[in-house]
């Protein structure tokens, strides 16, 4: 048994960042984690391994489609799936060991095991009970399914199973055209699988700027992904070596069946709070099964807080990180704060898709007057040289003040480019501020400047 200022349950991006910041601010801190490695879903079976496979498969795509045009000729590389899995696992290991090193460096105690909160101020792990002034729940989320579909992580898999398939399937069915489904669908399409994506709604990537989503779907189709929208999946029959997906098209109620070697269920995630004992504590929950908190991440029970995927808001690793740092500062007597209006979202396909702030649909719904600045990567010299000229940058600004309200990018390095706009928005910048900032040539970032220019007198290269 040990006494702490703070005990954090979960070592994902929210939990480990919160733990490190608490320790840096002078609080005696421990983090409880039941996995054999730190880092939570993100580092072990989520963000990091998926990006490793996306990177590897994109290199294959470049070799197959673009190398010869650049004068790089030779036999096209073959896929050694076992070696690619080994590469992915090595990337995971480097990152999880890195968190373990940071814990030791910052004197954060790792309490190994699964946590339960028997009463406020106490955390039970195995047969030991530890006490703390503050308990933070950062236990993350788990894959969610839909009625009629049972995940067995064999033939019918979640994102976790999809990262470690024994072989590349000939036919992959993906249920859900959100971030996870499209990223992993892209991986297997590049590796030679016939990929069909079934989406219940009439648009892919729900909530995304409509203009971007339309363009994105066209580009994914060119890459070989078959996307069926308005498809209501009725059930999945898992056989010994394949599966049958039954679905209905909502527009005409027609019934269809799709055969696949593997079915990936990518219909979202749900908060993971199993075994924590929240019911017995009387912790208030939302209707969607999230932990209810106030503006300072405090639950309905004194001394217990929650951050990340278990509370309301987008299930994003960086959102959890920001909440972790903010809460650590609050507990240390500082003024921790998260600006939820400036949290970017990224889809790591090729091209990448990134967004921040308002969409045109949300501005129209609010009745707010705005202007649009748009610039195609076809007008960007660097993008054309790198076979990456698909897509565009779109900036939304207030019609009167010119203040940037949102931005949406589909194109090369969109996940990096969006942060220039995030910084600008954080400081209340106008589109003209971006337009008057010198950008190095030739860079992809010039497209951001051109989009900002388009909010005013017009871009130069369009």
Q: Catalytic residue positions?
A: 441
Ligand-binding annotation for 282, yes or no, is no
**Residue 462 contacts residue 450 (beta carbons within 8 Å):** yes
Ligand-binding annotation for 176, yes or no, is yes
Q: Which residues pair with 8 in a beta bridge?
A: 31, 136
Ligand-binding annotation for 317, yes or no, is yes
Q: Which residues pair with 196 in a beta bridge?
A: 173, 226
Ligand-binding annotation for 325, yes or no, is no
Ligand-binding annotation for 182, yes or no, is yes
Ligand-binding annotation for 185, yes or no, is no
Ligand-binding annotation for 88, yes or no, is no
Ligand-binding annotation for 309, yes or no, is yes
Ligand-binding annotation for 179, yes or no, is yes
> Is the torsion defined by CA of 412, 415, 419, 425 positive or negative?
positive
Ligand-binding annotation for 180, yes or no, is yes
Annotated binding site for NAD(+), which residues? 176-183, 199, 268
Annotated binding site for FAD, which residues? 51, 309, 315-318
Annotated binding site, which residues? 51, 176-183, 199, 268, 309, 315-318
């Amino acid at each position: 048994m040990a006494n702490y200022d703070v005990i954090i349950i979960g070592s994902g991006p929210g939990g480990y960042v919160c733990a490190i910041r608490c320790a840096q601010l002078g609080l005696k801190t421990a983090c409880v984690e039941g996995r054999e490695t730190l880092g939570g879903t993100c580092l072990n079976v989520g963000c990091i391994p998926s990006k490793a496979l996306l990177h590897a498969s994109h290199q294959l795509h470049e070799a197959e489609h673009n190398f010869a045009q650049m004068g790089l000729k030779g036999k096209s590389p073959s896929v050694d799936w076992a070696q690619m899995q080994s590469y992915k696992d090595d990337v995971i290991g480097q990152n999880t060991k890195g968190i373990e090193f940071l814990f030791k460096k910052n004197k954060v105690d790792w309490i190994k095991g699964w946590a339960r909160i028997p009463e406020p101020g106490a955390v039970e792990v195995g047969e030991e009970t530890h006490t703390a002034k503050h308990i933070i729940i950062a236990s993350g989320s788990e894959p969610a399914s839909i009625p009629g579909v049972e995940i067995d992580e064999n033939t019918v898999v979640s994102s976790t199973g999809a990262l470690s398939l024994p072989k590349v399937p000939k036919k992959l069915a993906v249920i859900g055209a959100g971030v996870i489904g499209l990223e992993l669908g892209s991986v297997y399409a590049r590796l030679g699988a016939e990929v069909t994506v079934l989406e219940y709604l009439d648009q892919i990537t729900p909530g995304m700027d409509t203009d971007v989503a339309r363009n994105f779907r066209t580009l994914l189709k060119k890459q070989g992904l078959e996307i069926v929208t308005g498809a209501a999946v009725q059930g999945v029959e898992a056989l010994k070596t394949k599966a049958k997906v039954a679905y209905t098209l909502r527009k005409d109620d027609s019934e269809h069946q799709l055969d696949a070697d593997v079915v990936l269920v990518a219909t979202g995630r749900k908060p993971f709070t199993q075994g924590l004992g929240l019911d017995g504590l009387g912790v208030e929950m939302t209707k969607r099964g999230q932990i209810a908190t106030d503006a300072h991440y405090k639950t309905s029970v004194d001394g217990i807080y929650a951050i990340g995927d278990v509370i309301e808001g987008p299930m994003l690793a960086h959102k959890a990180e920001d909440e972790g740092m903010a809460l650590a500062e609050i507990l240390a007597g500082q003024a921790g704060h998260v600006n939820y209006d400036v949290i970017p979202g990224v889809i790591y396909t090729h091209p990448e898709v990134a967004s921040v702030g308002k969409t045109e649909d949300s501005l129209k719904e609010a009745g707010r007057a705005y202007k649009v600045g748009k610039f195609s990567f076809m007008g960007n010299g660097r993008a054309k040289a790198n076979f990456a000229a698909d897509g565009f940058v779109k900036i939304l600004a207030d019609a009167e003040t010119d203040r940037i309200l949102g931005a949406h990018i589909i194109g090369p390095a969109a996940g990096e480019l969006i942060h220039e706009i995030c910084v600008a928005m954080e400081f209340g910048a106008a589109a003209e501020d971006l337009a008057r900032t010198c950008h190095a040539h030739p860079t992809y970032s010039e497209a951001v400047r051109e989009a900002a220019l388009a909010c005013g007198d017009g871009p130069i290269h369009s």
